């Protein structure tokens, strides 16, 4: 590894979550930021960098300030005059969430517009993380730039982790998503797919089929499947690790992202894949018991270190 830091690439949005009555609470979240949040909380003193592009409006400034207050930098990410962040609102039916988005002209779509700045943000990182949503918000040329820069960081010694995180509404065609995700897997060391997404995109019949397919492309694969066991494909073997049951979840937003962050933190700390999945399951179970995508650091740490869990 080239350095001690962790970097995550993507889009952090303004999040509106419903409260009692007509009022809404504003926060900041997005799949790759949610993962970095957990990874940062659980990785001790490792420097954390969120790599994106930002506007110069008051909301963007508040976002960057929020990152800094929680020990997360933005590296060489560009700040674009006149641009602004995307926005989404969460509505809940019980604990299950649905989303409404306003993100078509978000600043993050320009995160790969300056290849040199992007490369500088990824220098000397122990880990680089990105997702299928990162790919989906970029145009074809920007995707190629992103993957070339990630490949360069990997060649320099960074470990690369990727969650395909397929969201159909972000892609023009399923075939475009398939091709882009396969290109990303070619520069990936750890893949963190979710089975229903892979079933929807690639037609896999079972989690085992997903694990075997991706295990031919990536050295280490963890297939998430909600409250069902996660499946590890590594060293040409498959291993199932049961999830943690939560009887009365409050909000499932960010559970899979926090699983990713906890798994990567555990692997960076030297835990074997199965032990890392156990910790990740505990963290995800703690996240579904709080509202919003970002659980307090102390909640994440308690679950991660819970030896009785």
Set 31, 45, 257, 306: catalytic member:
257
Give dist(CA 293, CA 143) in Å, integer: 26
Closest CA to 194 of 214, 173, 216: 214
Give dist(CA 256, CA 298) in Å, integer: 18
Active site residue 183: no
Name, in order, each residue with C-beta under 8 angstroms of 63's C-beta and a sequence gap of 6 or more: 12, 14, 28, 54, 85
Give dist(CA 127, CA 186) in Å, integer: 16
The tokens for 106 are: 């978000």
Beta-sheet strands, E only, within 65-215: 72-73, 79-80, 87-93, 96-102, 125-131, 159-163, 190-191
Please count the other Cβ atoms lying within 10 Å of the Cβ belonging to residue 76: 16
Give dist(CA 189, CA 250) in Å, integer: 33
| 3-state SS class at 215 | helix
Give the DSSP letter of residue 55.
E
What is the distance of C-alpha 230 from the center of its chain? 17
Alpha helix (H) ranges present in 194-268? 195-202, 207-215, 255-268
Give the DSSP letter of residue 13.
E
Closest CA to 134 of 36, 46, 222: 36
Kindly list the catalytic residues.
257
């Amino acid at each position: 590894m080239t350095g001690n830091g962790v970097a995550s690439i993507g889009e952090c949005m303004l999040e509106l979550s419903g409260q009692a009555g007509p009022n809404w609470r504003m926060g900041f979240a997005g799949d790759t930021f949610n993962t970095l949040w957990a990874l940062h909380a659980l990785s001790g003193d490792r420097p954390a960098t969120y790599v994106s592009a930002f506007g110069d409006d008051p909301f963007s400034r508040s976002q960057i300030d929020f990152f800094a207050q929680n020990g997360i930098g933005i590296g060489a990410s560009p700040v674009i005059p006149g641009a602004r962040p995307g926005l989404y609102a969460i509505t809940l039916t019980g604990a299950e969430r649905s989303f409404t988005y306003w993100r078509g002209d978000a600043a993050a779509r320009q995160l790969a517009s300056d290849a040199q700045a992007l490369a500088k943000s990824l220098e000397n990182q122990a880990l680089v993380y990105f997702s299928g949503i990162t790919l989906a918000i970029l145009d074809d040329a920007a995707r190629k730039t992103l993957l070339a820069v990630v490949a360069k960081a990997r060649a320099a010694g960074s470990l690369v982790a990727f969650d395909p995180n397929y969201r159909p509404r972000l892609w023009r065609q399923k075939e475009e998503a398939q091709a882009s995700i396969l290109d990303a897997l070619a520069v990936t060391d750890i893949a963190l797919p979710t089975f229903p997404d892979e079933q929807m995109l690639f037609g896999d019949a079972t989690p085992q089929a997903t694990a075997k397919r991706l295990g031919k492309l990536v050295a280490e694969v963890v297939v998430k499947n909600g409250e069902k066991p996660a499946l590890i494909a590594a060293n040409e073997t498959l291993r199932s690790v049961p999830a943690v049951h939560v009887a009365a979840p409050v909000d499932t937003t960010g559970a899979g992202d926090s699983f990713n962050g906890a798994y990567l933190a555990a692997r960076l700390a030297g835990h074997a894949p199965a032990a890392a999945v156990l910790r990740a399951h505990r963290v995800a179970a703690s996240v579904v018991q709080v509202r919003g995508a970002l659980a307090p650091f102390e909640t994440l740490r308690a679950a991660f270190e819970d030896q009785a869990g």
